[in-house]
Each structure stands twice: as structure tokens, then as C-alpha cells.
Amino acid sequence: GDSVTQMEGPVTLSEEAFLTINCTYTATGYPSLFWYVQYPGEGLQLLLKATKADDKGSNKGFEATYRKETTSFHLEKGSVQVSDSAVYFCALSDIGRGSTLGRLYFGRGTQLTVWP
Amino acid sequence: GAGVSQTPSNKVTEKGKYVELRCDPISGHTALYWYRQSLGQGPEFLIYFQGTGAADDSGLPNDRFFAVRPEGSVSTLKIQRTERGDSAVYLCASSFSGRNEQFFGPGTRLTVL
């Protein structure tokens, strides 16, 4: 079945460091891929998404490229800030290409802490 | 505009009791999802409604769990004979039919003593 494997944390970085959080997926169809973020005390928010191979999603300085050949969707940011401290979840959805279910499959989440 | 709301935000109950968790989706969203998030884990799918009907309930763990959405808007997740293992954050999300993006509510933290 569909699944997401996400780099385990926690990840601790200094401000302005480069961030990579790895995510790989298994899917039988043509999934859409997402990164969600959960800030302390808040609900899940969509950070970025990509709906087909080679698409790049970007938002707030974060980027991720949908790589079908490596079944990956790694999250990157060139210079993290203290305000980026949160839990990041990689997810896939099987909606598309005729499927209407749209359920999300999430990874376990990666806790990111950025120190000033 | 208003986002997805869930009530209560916290619920503490005793083992064996019945609980109801409520979700108010974003107005106009026909798709509604319930997920469960245990400590240190990602959310796990429970059930998906398209309008009033449950299009996919394959994530419900057993027959103690049931959800309804009688008018195609508000949904209630019902748990009978609660067990300590049911303790988790229950998340609701909604989206436009056929669209990918799901918008999540803040969750209900259920604690079964």
C-alpha cells in the first residue's frame, strides 16, 4: 500500500544553517506530495505541495522537488530561522488520475529546533 | 474566513465511557476527513466523507468507532466503550471535492484514564 518514510529527528540547527529533511514514498498510482508543518501549540498547516513528477513546490523559503525516479520529496531551506522551529510532516495523497479518495498518508514527522 | 473548528479541544474520560467529538468544516467544503495522531506519530487516516456519505471508512480501527455527517456539513466521531489506547489527538480536515489541499482543524485531545 501507499506509505511515506521520513527522516527521523530531532534535527537541531543554528540559525542560517542549511536544512534538508529526507522523505521517500511508496505508491501504486500517481500521488500528489505534500509537506505539512505543525508549529508549537498550533494545528497542521500545508507548507508546500507538488502534484506531478519534476514539479517543485515552494513556500516561505522552503522547497521540495517531486522525484519519481528516486521516489523522493526532500524538504530543503537554504537558511533556517528560529521561527522555523516546528514539526514537519511529509505526506502523499492518492487523489488524481481518476481516484477521488484523497486520503493523506503521513510520515512520522521530524522535529526541527533552530537555535539563535 | 473561518477555518475548520473542532470541539471540545480537550476531553478526559474514563475507560468504558462513550465520547463524541465534533468537527465543523470550512463552509462549502464537501469532503471531510478524520485522522488520529498518537504521540510521536504522524496522523493516521480514519474515515472520509464526500457529502453525507462515508466514501472510505477503512481506517476505523474497530466497530467501537463510528462517524456521521447527516447534513453534509458538521461531522461527529463517536467512540464507544473507550479504551486507554484510544488516547490521541483526533484531527478533522476538509477540502473542496476534487481538490488536493486539506485544511486541518486544531484537533481534540482525548485522554482515556
Per-residue pLDDT, averaged over B99-113, amounts to 90
Tell me the three cell numbers of residue B80.
464507544
CA distance B81 to chain A (A): 27
CA neighbours within 13 Å on the CB side: how many for A113?
Answer: 5
What does the buried/exposed string (b/e) look like for A80-94 if buried means 16 or more CB atoms within 10 Å of the residue's CB? beeebbbbbbbbbbb
pLDDT at A95: 65
Residues of chain A with C-beta less than 8 angstroms from the C-beta of B56: 101, 103
Nearest to B104 among A43, A100, A103 (CB): A43
Identify which has the larger pLDDT, B16 or A98.
B16
In this predicted structure, the answer to whether residue B98 has a pLDDT above a threshold of 70 is: no
Interface test with A, best of B23, B26, B29, B102 (most A CBs within 10 A): B102
Cross-strand partners of A40: none
Q: Which three cell numbers, joined as nine digits, stand for A95? A: 487523489
Amino acid at B1: G
Q: Which of A45, A96, A106 lies nearest to residue B42, judging by beta carbons? A: A106
Work out the average pLDDT over B100-110: 91
B96 part of contact set with chain A, CB < 8 Å: no
Cell of A79: 537558511
Widest distance between CA atoms in chain A? 47
> A80-95 pLDDT, tens per residue?
999 999 999 999 987 6
Cβ of A104: how many Cβ atoms within 10 Å?
28
φ/ψ (deg, to 5) at B86: -80, -10
**Could you tell me how many CB contacts below 8 A there are between chain A and chain B?**
65
Where residue A101 falls among pLDDT bands split at 50, 70, 90? low
**What per-residue confidence (pLDDT) applies to B55?**
84
Contact residues, chain B, for A49 at CB < 8 Å:
100-101
Q: Write the DSSP string, A59-98.
A: ETTEEEE-BTTTTB--EEESS--GGG-EEEEEEEE--BTT
Burial of residue B102 (number of CB atoms within 10 Å: 0-12, 13-18, 19+): buried
pLDDT tens digits, one per residue of B33-82? 999 999 989 999 999 998 898 888 999 999 999 999 999 999 999 999 99
